[in-house]
C-alpha cells in the first residue's frame, strides 16, 4: 500500500513541482503575489488538449503552451505596471478573463485525451518508469531555474523583487524585469498544467481552481522542512567546516534561491504524500480544500523560530 501511495504522490509531486517553481519565481524571487496562476494552469491544459485533439504532436504543443503562459503573465504585469491596478487585483482579473478564454480554446468544459497520443501514453502501465520520467522533467526545470538565478538576468530579477527603487537608480527599467519574471513564472505553471493533463488523461476548465493554495502549501511546507534541516545541520557540522565552506567561491552562489527551489520540490512531495495518506484514511475528496487550508496554516504557524531560521526562510507571507 505504501508503495502505491508513494508512486502516486511522487508522480503528482514531480508534475506539480514545476508549478511550484513558478510560484517561487513570482512570490519569492520577484515578491509579486501573482494570482494569475489559477488561470494559466488551466490555460496550459486547454492549449495542449485542444492541440492534441487537432492531431498535433505533443512536443509541438508544449512550446505553444509556454508562450501562452508567458502571455498570460505579461498581461497581469501590463495591468499592474501600465494601468496602475494593484498586483493582487490584476492577477485576479486576468485569472477571471482566462476562465472564459480557456472555455473558448477548449470549446467545451471537459476534453478527454483517452486513446490519443500524449507524451506519456506509451508508459501508461509502468508506474515506476513514469516516476522516473516525471522526476527527470522536474529536475531539468529545477536545474534550469537554479542556473537562471546565478545569471545576471536572474540576479536582476531577484534584486527587483527585493528593492525595485535600487534597481531603477542603477539605470534599469524594471518593467521589463517584471514582464520577464512573471512571464517565466506563468509559463512554468502552464507547462505544469499541460503535463498534468497528459498524465490524468483529460482537461477540465475547473482544474486550476485552488492551484495557488496547493502550490503555496507545498512551498511553505517545504520551506519549514528545509529550515528544520538547516537548524539540525548546525549541530552536525562543526564551526570549522562551515568556516571553510563560507570562504570559498561556492558560498557566493545564490543559495537562498537554490534552497527555495529544493523546498518547492520537497514540499510538493510532502504535500501530495500527506494528502494521499489522508484520502486513503477515508477523507472525503470534497474536504480536500479544507485539509489543504489547514496544512497551510500549520505550515506557517509551526515554522521554527530563531534568528538563523528567520533570515533563512525570509517569512514574507
Partner 1 sequence: MSAPYVIEARNLKVVYNEGTPNEVVALDLDRDNFCFNVLQGQTIILTGGNGSGKSTLVKAIAGMAPVKSGSVFIHGKDVTGWPAYRRAKHIGFVHQDPMLGTCPNLTVHENFQISLEKPWWLPTPYPLTLTKGQLDSIEKIGLPLAEKKTTQLNMLSGGQRQSIALCLALRKGSILLLDEFTSALDEQTKKAVLLYALSEAKAMKATVIMITHDLTLARELGKESGNVVLTMVGGRFQQVMAIKREISDGIFRLY
Q: At closest approach, how far in Å is the CB of 152 from partner 1?
A: 4
* CB distance 149 to 29 below 8 Å: yes
With 0-12 / 13-18 / 19 or more C-beta atoms within 10 angstroms meaning exposed / middle / buried, residue 133 is: middle
Output 5 or 150, the one with its CB closest to partner 1.
150
**Closest CB 180 distance from partner 1, rounded Å:** 8
Binding to partner 1, residues 146-175 (CB under 8 A): 147-148, 150-153, 155-156, 158-159, 162-163, 165-174
Judged by CB, which is closer to partner 1: 14, or 32?
32
* Residue 100 vs 170, nearer CB to partner 1: 170
| Least distance from partner 1 to the Cβ atom of residue 148, Å | 8
**Going residue by residue from 170 to 199, which x/- string records binding to partner 1, judged by CB under 8 A?**
xxxxx-xx--x-------------------
C-alpha cell at 4: 502505491
C-alpha cell at 3: 508503495
Q: Is 239 in the site for partner 1 (CB under 8 A)?
A: no
256 binds partner 1, rule: CB under 8 A: yes
CB < 8 Å & 24+ apart, contacts of 114-123: 114/201, 114/202, 116/52, 116/53, 117/52, 117/57, 117/58, 118/52, 118/58, 118/198, 118/201, 119/58, 119/59, 119/195, 119/198, 120/198, 120/199, 121/198
- Least spacing, CB of residue 315 vs partner 1, in Å: 12
Instruction: Give the shortest CB-34-to-partner 1 separation in angstroms.
Output: 19
Q: Does 112 interact with partner 1 (rule: CB under 8 A)?
A: no
Please tell me the distance from the alpha carbon of residue 5 to that of residue 7, in angstroms, as a whole number. 5
Q: How far is the CB of 243 from partner 1 (least distance, A)?
A: 10
Nearer to partner 1, 128 or 144 (CB): 144
Q: How far is the CB of 253 from partner 1 (least distance, A)?
A: 8
Residues in 130-149 at the binding interface with partner 1, rule: CB under 8 A:
147-148
**Kind and range of the H or E element at 100?**
helix 87-106
Q: With contact defined as beta carbons under 8 Å apart, do 120 and 198 qualify? A: yes
84 binds partner 1 (CB under 8 A): no
Residue 314 as a binder of partner 1 (CB under 8 A): the answer is yes
| Residue 300: Cβ-neighbour burial (10 angstroms; 0-12, 13-18, 19+) | middle
Supply 195's cell numbers. 503535463
Taking the complex as a whole, how short is the minimal distance between the CB of residue 292 and partner 1, in angstroms? 28
- Choosing from 249, 281, 282, 305, the residue that interacts with partner 1 (CB under 8 A) is 249
Q: Which residues bind partner 1 (CB under 8 A)?
A: 147-148, 150-153, 155-156, 158-159, 162-163, 165-174, 176-177, 180, 246, 249, 251-254, 256, 311, 314
Amino acid at each position: 500500500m505504501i508503495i502505491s501511495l508513494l508512486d502516486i504522490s511522487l508522480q503528482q509531486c514531480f508534475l506539480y513541482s514545476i508549478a511550484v517553481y513558478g510560484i517561487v519565481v513570482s512570490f519569492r524571487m520577484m515578491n509579486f503575489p501573482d494570482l494569475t496562476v489559477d488561470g494559466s494552469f488551466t490555460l496550459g491544459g486547454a492549449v495542449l488538449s485542444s492541440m492534441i485533439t487537432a492531431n498535433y504532436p505533443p512536443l509541438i504543443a508544449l512550446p505553444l503552451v509556454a508562450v501562452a503562459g508567458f502571455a498570460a503573465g505579461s498581461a497581469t504585469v501590463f495591468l499592474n505596471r501600465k494601468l496602475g491596478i494593484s498586483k493582487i487585483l490584476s492577477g485576479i482579473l486576468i485569472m477571471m478573463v482566462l476562465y472564459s478564454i480557456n472555455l473558448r480554446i477548449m470549446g467545451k468544459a471537459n476534453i478527454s485525451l483517452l486513446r490519443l497520443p500524449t507524451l506519456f501514453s506509451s508508459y501508461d502501465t509502468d508506474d515506476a518508469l513514469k516516476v522516473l520520467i516525471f522526476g527527470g522533467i522536474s529536475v531539468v526545470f529545477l536545474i534550469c531555474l537554479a542556473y537562471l538565478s546565478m545569471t545576471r538576468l536572474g540576479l536582476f530579477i531577484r534584486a527587483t523583487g527585493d528593492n525595485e527603487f535600487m534597481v531603477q537608480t542603477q539605470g534599469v527599467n524594471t518593467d521589463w524585469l517584471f514582464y520577464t519574471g512573471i512571464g517565466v513564472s506563468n509559463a512554468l505553471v502552464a507547462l505544469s498544467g499541460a503535463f498534468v493533463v497528459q498524465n490524468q488523461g483529460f482537461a477540465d476548465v475547473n482544474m486550476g481552481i485552488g492551484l495557488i493554495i496547493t502550490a503555496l502549501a507545498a512551498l511553505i511546507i517545504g520551506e519549514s522542512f528545509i529550515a528544520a534541516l538547516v537548524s539540525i545541520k548546525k549541530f552536525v557540522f562543526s564551526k570549522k567546516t562551515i568556516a571553510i565552506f563560507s570562504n570559498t567561491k561556492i558560498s557566493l552562489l545564490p543559495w537562498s534561491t537554490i534552497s527555495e527551489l529544493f523546498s518547492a520540490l520537497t514540499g510538493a512531495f510532502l504535500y501530495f504524500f500527506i494528502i494521499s495518506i489522508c484520502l486513503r484514511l477515508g477523507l472525503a475528496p470534497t474536504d480536500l480544500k479544507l485539509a489543504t487550508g489547514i496544512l497551510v496554516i500549520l505550515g506557517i504557524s509551526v515554522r521554527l523560530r530563531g534568528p538563523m531560521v528567520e533570515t533563512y526562510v525570509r517569512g514574507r507571507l
